[in-house]
Structure 1
Amino acid sequence: MKKASIIALTLGTILTGCSAATSESVTPATVTTATSAPTPAPEVKAMSADEVNRFKEYATKLKGGTFITEAEIVNQNEAIITYADYDSLKKSKPDSTITKDDFNGYWGSGDAVNKTLMEEPIRLLREFPELNKVKLTLNHEKAHLIEVDRATTEDYFKVNLSEIHADKSNEKWRNEIVNKFFTKDERKKYIEKFVK
Structure 2
Amino acid sequence: MRKPIYTEWRFWVIIVVIVLGIAIAAAIKQRQEQAQDSPPSPSPPAAAGTQLPSQVTAPTPSATVAPGASAANPASSPPDVTPSADTQPVTPPPSAYPGQTSPADQVPLPKSDVLAYSRQLKGSPYIRDVAVGTDNIEIHYFGSFAEFAQANPGTQKTKADYNEYFSSRDAINKILMEAPVQLFRQFPGTASIDISLPFSGKTYSVSLTKGSVEKFFNTDLDGIETDEQWAEQISGPYFNKEYRDQFAERYIKVN
What's the TM-score once normalised by structure 1's chain length? 0.70
Alpha-carbon distance in structure 1 between the residues aligned to 2:164 and 2:180: 23
Query: Counterpart amino acid of 1:82?
Result: H
Q: Which residue of 2 aligns with 1:138?
A: 197
1:34 — aligned with what?
none
Counterpart for residue 152 of structure 1: 212
**Unaligned regions of 5+ residues in structure 1, if any?**
1-41
Q: Which residue is 2:139 aligned to?
A: 81
1:129 is aligned to 2:129: no
Report if the CA contact (8 A) 2:108-2:135 is conserved.
no
Q: Determine helix, strand or coil for the equivalent of 2:193.
A: strand
1:86, distance to aligned residue in structure 2 (A): 1.3
Aligned residue for 2:150? Answer: 91
Give the whole-Å Cα distance in 1 for the aligned partners of 2:137 and 2:119. Answer: 13
Alpha-carbon distance in structure 1 between the residues aligned to 2:120 and 2:240: 21
Deviations for 1:117-159, whole angstroms, at most 9, x for unmatched residues? 1011111001101111110111222110011010111112111
Q: Give identity over the alignment, percent.
A: 27
Matched residue, 1:69: 128
- Partner Cα distance (1:136, 1:172) in 2: 26
Q: CA RMSD in A?
A: 2.1
- How far apart are residue 65 of structure 1 and its match? 0.6
Q: Does 1:184 align with 2:238?
A: no
Equivalent position SS for 1:111:
helix
- Equivalent residue letter for 1:151: G
Aligned to 1:172: 229
> How far apart, in 2, do the equivalents of 1:147 and 1:94 lie?
31
1:57 aligns to what? 116
Superposition TM-score, scaled by structure 2 size: 0.55
What's the offset of the Cα at 1:111?
Answer: 2.8
The offset of 1:104, in angstroms, is: 0.5
**Counterpart code for 1:77:** D
Q: Which runs of 5+ in 2 are unaligned?
A: 1-66, 70-104
The one-letter code of the counterpart of 1:78 is: N
Which of the two has greater helix per residue? 1
Alpha-carbon distance change, 122 to 46 in structure 1, aligned in 2, over 3 angstroms: same
Which structure has the bigger radius of gyration?
A: 2
Aligned residues: 150
Runs ≥4 residues deviating over 6 A:
42-45
Q: What displacement does 1:48 show?
A: 4.4
Match of 2:160 among 98, 101, 121: 101
- Aligned pair 1:113/2:164, yes or no? no
